Structure 1
């Protein structure tokens, strides 16, 4: 009798142990799929917008990672994401009044990111590679707590604070309007140049091998902005193809100009504490801007957003 009891107990223990070992860690593999519209609920674990689908969220909290799969859309208002956001090939993220504690990454060939009145961690746009899709980053009236890096497409910050470094290499353009960069600014190999107006850069600023020109302040031919900027350290502009204009800025360091074609124009109203190094001209009078404000292709983003909202509404209530 004792032998049978011992055997039974041994078998029970083995079953219990095997169940414990086989059981997943709580929440480790918990992924909620979002297709349709979701409201003010808390999603434990990760959230996935499946490939080709659309999801809209209003007041939703996600405790894990948010993934926007290939060809899918996520439009969020008043959201709180405790982890990072990953946007895949041809994926689109549109966030308003939203907090993202982690970083946001747009994968090669991602459609783009549009952030308004939001606060996020670091933002990275990876090169398009051979996908043929030029992504974009449009950010308005937001804070990015970390570095911002882009190697693709249109790049526009308006009324934005970046607490880290900002760098683009191979973007279509890089424009900063009424924005603040706490770290360094690096703009390289942009196809249609860069505009920095009404903005402040706390670290060094370097513009290298850009086409289409560089405009720091007003009176350039890229944008009809009204005010110059503040640069706390050295500013370097080198190997630019296209008009370079430096107008109405305060530069606490040096202005270094090298091999720009045509020769850079530096207006007399700049206050450059460290002096100017390199070839430059000083126009006798400020020349009026020759073009209208640069056009950012926000309709492309707005059209995608409109289609995503419609698709989510047609899909009905998401099972969150």
Structure 2
């Protein structure tokens, strides 16, 4: 568990060599500890290894969470972007983030609840040992979500105005949420679940190792209902099992090259028909390879998030 801090440091650094730029534009406020309903009229930085907890705070500039640092904010308003470094963590609830949120390679995680933000990016893990997570609940993301690592879960009435593109994640799940653009999940280690959600654009699932579950009655996760897909749906080259149940697809469903062959329930409403493997190809892929259900990895990530929140809120007052 990270060391807890109960001190505050504030510093202003002025780059006076740039003409015609207001002095406040070059200021950076360093936050260690807790802060309240004040306005920070410049950039905010959480130093490496430190914790900052804010309630009702307005930041007019950009936010930087350095390596190993925690930023926990409730009821805040951030006008700029939020960049989180390796092993850094962002927890934002009932908070508006006007700019993008970017989690660096090996970032600890991002948790958004009852919040709004610009585009969200999770960088590829690379050579780091930490596999990131992005958990979003009842929030609005304006623009695209791009994830290249870790656990990705959109839940509880989350809305994405752009597309959701995931490549090489541990899993990417969408529950009871809305994606206005396309949905793409490629090469996920334990696959993807889409339940009770709407996707207006094309949905593509390819090369996923742990299976794909669209709708209820699948082996990966509990699910109450199917979803709506506004365009074509393609599930290909997937191992671990594919189930498609209780969905409305306003396009063509393509399910080919999966091992075992996809299980497509009769209660799906597929407007433009289904493309599947030939009988011979389906028979060759019929050897049972059941998909592995979700493990406790999500619970572990939730525990990591809870620890980070406790560490940040345990810090002392910050004189912002």
Using a 3 Å threshold, how does the CA distance of structure 1 residues 292 and 240 change in structure 2: closer, same or farther?
closer
Q: How many residues align?
A: 295
Which residue does 1:224 correspond to in 2? Answer: 222
Q: Deviations over 1:9-58 (max 9, x none)?
A: xxxxxxxxxx9977863322110000000000000110000000000000
Q: How far is 1:312 from its partner? A: 4.8
Which residue does 1:297 correspond to in 2? Answer: 298
Q: How far is 1:278 from its partner? A: 1.6
Which residue does 2:136 correspond to in 1? Answer: 139
Using a 3 Å threshold, how does the CA distance of structure 1 residues 294 and 246 change in structure 2: closer, same or farther?
farther
Using a 3 Å threshold, how does the CA distance of structure 1 residues 198 and 63 change in structure 2: closer, same or farther?
same
Using a 3 Å threshold, how does the CA distance of structure 1 residues 273 and 308 change in structure 2: closer, same or farther?
closer
Q: Deviations over 1:249-304 (max 9, x none)?
A: 0001000112111111100000000000122899xxxxxx9987765524434444
Structure 2 distance, partners of 1:86, 1:270, is 42
Which residue does 2:175 correspond to in 1? Answer: 177
Give the conservation status (yes or no) of the 8 Å contact 1:54–1:309.
Answer: no
Question: Does the residue aligned with 2:226 lie in a helix, a strand or coil?
Answer: coil
Which residue does 1:286 correspond to in 2? Answer: none
Structure 1 distance, partners of 2:299, 2:317, is 28
1:3-152 to structure 2, matched below 5 A, reads: 25-152=22-149
Give the conservation status (yes or no) of the 8 Å contact 1:231–1:250.
Answer: yes
Using a 3 Å threshold, how does the CA distance of structure 1 residues 128 and 69 change in structure 2: closer, same or farther?
same
Q: Deviations over 1:146-172 (max 9, x none)?
A: 100000010001021000000100000
Q: How far is 1:226 from its partner? A: 1.3
Q: Normalized against structure 1, the TM-score is what?
A: 0.87
Which residue does 1:3 correspond to in 2? Answer: none
Question: Does the residue aligned with 2:26 lie in a helix, a strand or coil?
Answer: coil
> Gaps (5+ residues) in structure 2?
1-15, 283-289
Which residue does 1:212 correspond to in 2? Answer: 210
Structure 2 distance, partners of 1:20, 1:311, is 36
> Gaps (5+ residues) in structure 1?
1-18, 283-288
Q: Deviations over 1:217-269 (max 9, x none)?
A: 01110012110000010000110011100000000100011211111110000
Question: Does the residue aligned with 2:25 lie in a helix, a strand or coil?
Answer: coil
Give the conservation status (yes or no) of the 8 Å contact 2:214–2:244.
Answer: yes
Which residue does 1:199 correspond to in 2? Answer: 197
Higher relative contact order (CA 8 A, sep 6+): 2
CA RMSD of aligned residues (A): 2.2
Give the conservation status (yes or no) of the 8 Å contact 2:78–2:97.
Answer: yes
